Amino acid sequence: MKITQQVWEFAEPIVTQQGCSIWDVEYVREGADWFLRIYIDKKGGVDIQDCEAISRALDPILDEKDPIPTSYTFEVCSAGLERTLKRPSDFEAYMGEKVLVKLFRPKNSSKEFAGTLTGYSDGDVTVAVGEQTMTFPKAEVALVRLRVEF
């Protein structure tokens, strides 16, 4: 089982107890350092107290379960307004919302397309970009995230 799945499973009850939900768990290398990040969400938004409370509650459990044998930095973060959509349930929840689609390679001389999420099927993402509807195959999509305009 992947580290992120293990951490999700034992963290979920603690996060739920604190009135939040897990948006994502990632274990990534940045430069020479490894980071374990748990992204949380709740209705009305997450604040620093939520992150701190969950971090304090999970810290001893991470030490006990020891899912990662090497050293890493542990962080609890808000999923954020411009959160990345990854799972089918994420796309369902934000259907009709403004998104930014980033591609691995340019299409029509652009790697980024901003529009309204209108469809999701087997990893393919459909977005209304102005008057045009565009479907991006899963293999071409590097990232889809919510887009907030100020």
Domain count across the chain: 2
- Quote the pLDDT of residue 132: 94
What are the pLDDT digits (tens) for 61-92?
Answer: 999 998 898 999 999 999 999 999 999 999 99
Question: Comparing C-alpha atoms, which of 27, 29, 30 is closest to residue 4?
Answer: 27
Residue 70 falls inside a structural domain: yes
Domain boundary among 78, 110, 130: 78
In a shared domain, residues 58 and 21: yes
Residue 62 falls inside a structural domain: yes
Residue 112 has pLDDT above 80, yes or no: yes
What are the pLDDT digits (tens) for 94-107?
Answer: 999 999 999 999 99
CB 4, CB 25: distance < 8 Å: yes
Residue 16 falls inside a structural domain: yes
In a shared domain, residues 35 and 58: yes
* Exposure letters 109-136 (e unless 16+ CB within 10 A, then b): eeeebebbbbebeeeebbbeeeeeebeb
Question: Comparing C-alpha atoms, which of 135, 101, 141, 105 is closest to residue 118?
Answer: 135
> What is the rounded CA–CA span in Å between residue 68 and residue 91?
30
Residue 37 has pLDDT above 80, yes or no: yes
Q: Which domain holds residue 92?
A: 88-146
> What is the rounded CA–CA span in Å between residue 111 and residue 89?
25
CA distances in angstroms from 76 to 16, 61, 90, 132, 136, listed in the order given: 14, 14, 20, 39, 32
> What is the rounded CA–CA span in Å between residue 144 and residue 79?
14
| Domain harbouring 42, CATH code | 3.30.300.70
Residue 33 has pLDDT above 90, yes or no: yes
Q: Give the β-pairing of 21-30 and 33-41.
A: antiparallel
**How many CA atoms are closer than 13 Å to the CA of 64, on its beta-carbon side?**
7
Share of the chain above pLDDT 70, in %: 100
Residue 55 falls inside a structural domain: yes
Quick check: pTM over 0.85? Answer: no
Domain boundary among 78, 102, 121: 78
